[in-house]
Structure 1
Amino acid sequence: MPPWIAALSATLLMQSVASFMTQCLPVVAPLITEAAGLAPERVGNLSSLVALGTVLFLLLGGPFLARLGPVRTLQAGAAIAAIALLIAGAGTVAMLALAALLLGIGYGPSPPAGSRILAATAPKGHRALIFSVKQAGAPLGGALAGLVAAPVASAAGWPMALLVGVAAGLLAAAAIQPLRAALDTERDASRSIALRDVLSPHTIAAPFAVLRSHPALPRLVALSVAFALCQGCLFSFTVTWLVEARGLTLVEAGGVFAVMQAAGVAARIILGWLADRTGNATRNLALQGLVAAAIVTALALLPASAGDVAVTALCALAGFVAASWNGISLSEVARLAPADRVGDVTSGTTLFVFLGYVAGPSLFSLLVTLSGGYALPMLLVAAQLAAVAAYVALARR
């Protein structure tokens, strides 16, 4: 077996499971927020805390990745996320907030560790496709959350749905253990992970400093952040929007959410292949951003009389174009980064992306409260993505 197949299998599995675990919260959010006495739109604040946890790992986790190796770091992340879901089962506001933060920390290893593994093994002529297949695990995990967590929560209660996520994380961590000897060969066992080294100015500055290593990186980061704002809001609020504003049951809304995520799985593979064929990934992403903005605008303006078929179709289109950019972006980052700094550059890029995930859902939640509905926040999300995509397209021209 070529080494890249084993590497892709391991990273795809862990990406899927990490996404499944993090998406369990927004999928069962209507039940969790009700049990905790929170307004439904407060799921946006929980999603922001998840993203903040990922930012903390990306900012401070470099020494752990170097010391433990990417496979062991992915296993540790899965274990932390499992602990987070157990804490969330307490159901209080404080425990939900702590769980959301830990869930984000557990997700944090997926981008840099996965990129480090694939950058070392993926054939260069197929890099965008291979990275996109790995990133297809994110919507795949989300689709499974919609198909599994929502029915389990409706039938047995939302704590049981979270336990399914715990089991998935621990089983996946055990499954990749046989690959550690082959994929963690470059780890630095002498790298210090003492608190003074983890919190040192050098560690904190490293993800930011490496973004100056190529002049095209800032534009790519800006576009990725705009996509993250859009995707973060879609994934955080789709189920709640469908239940609260469109009158669907939780199981029905979970099904639509699964369709959105499944469309993202297909799109990441198709658009990743297209990026390899055209050889111009950043231009492709800019055009994709303009189309995504148009689809989200159509969702925001969808009349109340629109049937379930129209809602599902638009959600599928949104998942196809607004949630399929990650792999292409990461492959471009790996291509532009110095060969010995792929992990650091990926961490820096992804850190900014997750700042978008932090800000987007919380701002969206605030706008829902202020405007009394979901239409205005969705229009603003679409507008910022269209503006940045247009800027990047014109700048390249």
Structure 2
Amino acid sequence: MARQAEISAIRRYGPKALPWRAALAATLLMQIVAVFATQALPVLAPLVTRGTGMAPEAIGRVYGVAQLGTILFLLFGMPVLARLGPVRTLQLGAGLAGLGLTAAVFGSPLAVFAAALLIGLGNAPSIPAGSRILAATAPPAHRTLIFSVKQAGAPLGGMTAALVLPWLAEKASWPAALALVIFALFAATVTVQPMQAALDAERDRARDISPRALLSPANVATLFKALTLHPLLMPLAALCFGFAAATGCLWALQVSFLVEARGETLAQAGLAAAAMQAGGIAGRLILGWLGDRTGAATRNLLVQAFVAAGCLATLVILPASAPQFAFLLVSALAGATASSWQGIALAELARVTPAERVAEATAGASIIGFLGFAVGPAVCAWAISVLQDWTAPLLAVPALLAAGATLLAPRLRKVA
């Protein structure tokens, strides 16, 4: 009877039945494992591309396909989120990512690209589902920091991948490393299950999720209409595109760049990637806290874009003879500035968007952002292949980020 009363209270009060710390813990865990899965192929790229007969830079196209999977879910999957609830949707995403990693073990180029698509589909729910949970539970005075803590799960998952997976691949094999990621996805899915009833209590059980409903133009149009609810949303989404293109190139190509163009070992390159992800964790926490303290989170993002561009350019032009410490330091600074924008942007979206439209606005802005994740690495990989040079294409990435921030600055300052 006591348990039944608890369940009734959960269903009556929804997300408010759980403290925000529990909600944050659930979204943080699922964010960590989602990015752990997303980064598995990039950090193992030299082994995966050699084992499947692909060119080293092809990992940029693989990463782009993963982001395409994320975009597809964000475009068509919001009714699924409404019907199942955020936690169940996160669990579904973990299952799709695990299926993708299982496919990658087959070791053919087709299997790797199919795996990337499924991993991207699996990663997608972490943003709108997490935003829906935190928008309903986070105290307004600490919203930016709480969203940034949740997004810190992204570099934490990436850092774990960069530290653990290359080591395990060298000790055993890259399929064995992927098996570890699959286990982590399963364990996280089981761990968040006790919170599912409370956090999914407000789901729309009558929402139509038939193929016709999911693929309807009206479903897609709703996401972009949500970006017209406030004048800040569209230019902020455009800035996110530039940040995402830069972050995507950094996450997808750093290890391959250091191995192929700088002569680092896989373990050394993995350590640099881990330093970049560690910088991302620190950057998200510090910059999220700063956004709350200054009350000028969007304007802070503009400054951050220029600093990130400088750090990324420095990483590319460091000579191969530079000490390992220099690569680690610059990688950490690049991670702290170039990848520490999502939590701040998501908190700003939640701040100016009506609560009932947060998931839609977040999905719309995230689609634009993930286009950057998809286009940036894919185009950069194409340019590397055509020019047979890593430096010029990678230097173009921070140049475009700085140029975009310059163009958007007047409008963002006006409406922030």
Please state which band the TM-score falls in when normalised by the shorter chain: over 0.9
Which residue identity is paired with 2:300? N
Shift of residue 394 of structure 1?
A: 3.1
Shift of residue 216 of structure 1?
A: 1.1
* 364-373 vs 225-234, greater mean Cα deviation: 364-373
Alignment of 1:47-58 (within 5 A): 47-58=63-74
CA RMSD of aligned residues (A): 1.0
* 210-219 vs 105-114, greater mean Cα deviation: 210-219
Residue matched to 2:119: 103
Shift of residue 391 of structure 1?
A: 2.4
Residue matched to 1:43: 59
* Aligned-residue identity in percent: 52
State the number of aligned residues: 397
**Pick from 322, 328, 332: which aligns with 1:306?**
322
Unpaired segments ≥5 residues, structure 2? 1-16
Residue matched to 2:409: 393
Shift of residue 224 of structure 1?
A: 0.6
Is 1:370 aligned with 2:386? Answer: yes
CA distance in 1, matches of 2:180, 2:320: 35
Which residue identity is paired with 1:230? A
CA distance in 1, matches of 2:144, 2:387: 40
Shift of residue 132 of structure 1?
A: 0.1
**Pick from 334, 344, 348: which aligns with 2:360?**
344
Is 1:75 aligned with 2:91? Answer: yes
Alignment of 1:288-307 (within 5 A): 288-307=304-323
Residue matched to 1:271: 287
Alpha carbons 1:15, 1:135 under 8 Å: kept: yes
Cα deviation digits, residues 61-108 of structure 1 (max 9, x gap): 011000000000000000110010000000101111111001000001
**Pick from 181, 195, 217: which aligns with 2:197?**
181
Alpha carbons 1:287, 1:393 under 8 Å: kept: no
Is 1:193 aligned with 2:209? Answer: yes
Is 1:65 aligned with 2:71? Answer: no
Shift of residue 379 of structure 1?
A: 1.4
Cα deviation digits, residues 324-383 of structure 1 (max 9, x gap): 111000000111112210000000010111111110111010111122222111211011
Is 1:214 aligned with 2:194? Answer: no
Cα deviation digits, residues 190-244 of structure 1 (max 9, x gap): 1111111111111121111111111111110111110000000000011101111
CA distance in 2, matches of 1:394, 1:209: 23
The 3-state SS of whatever aligns with 2:208 is coil
Is 1:146 aligned with 2:162? Answer: yes
CA distance in 2, matches of 1:220, 1:260: 24
Shift of residue 288 of structure 1?
A: 0.2
Is 1:116 aligned with 2:116? Answer: no
Is 1:87 aligned with 2:91? Answer: no
Residue matched to 1:255: 271
* 298-307 vs 195-204, greater mean Cα deviation: 298-307
CA distance in 2, matches of 1:377, 1:51: 20
Shift of residue 2 of structure 1?
A: 6.1
Shift of residue 181 of structure 1?
A: 1.1
Is 1:357 aligned with 2:373? Answer: yes
Residue matched to 2:50: 34
Cα deviation digits, residues 104-157 of structure 1 (max 9, x gap): 000010000000000000000100000000000000000000111110111111
CA distance in 2, matches of 1:206, 1:244: 44
CA distance in 2, matches of 1:94, 1:2: 44
Which residue identity is paired with 2:38? T
Shift of residue 300 of structure 1?
A: 2.1
Which residue identity is paired with 2:362? T
CA distance in 2, matches of 1:362, 1:335: 33
Shift of residue 304 of structure 1?
A: 2.8
CA distance in 1, matches of 2:67, 2:263: 28
Alpha carbons 2:213, 2:219 under 8 Å: kept: yes
TM-score norm. by structure 1 comes to 0.98
Runs of 4 or more above 4 Å deviation: none
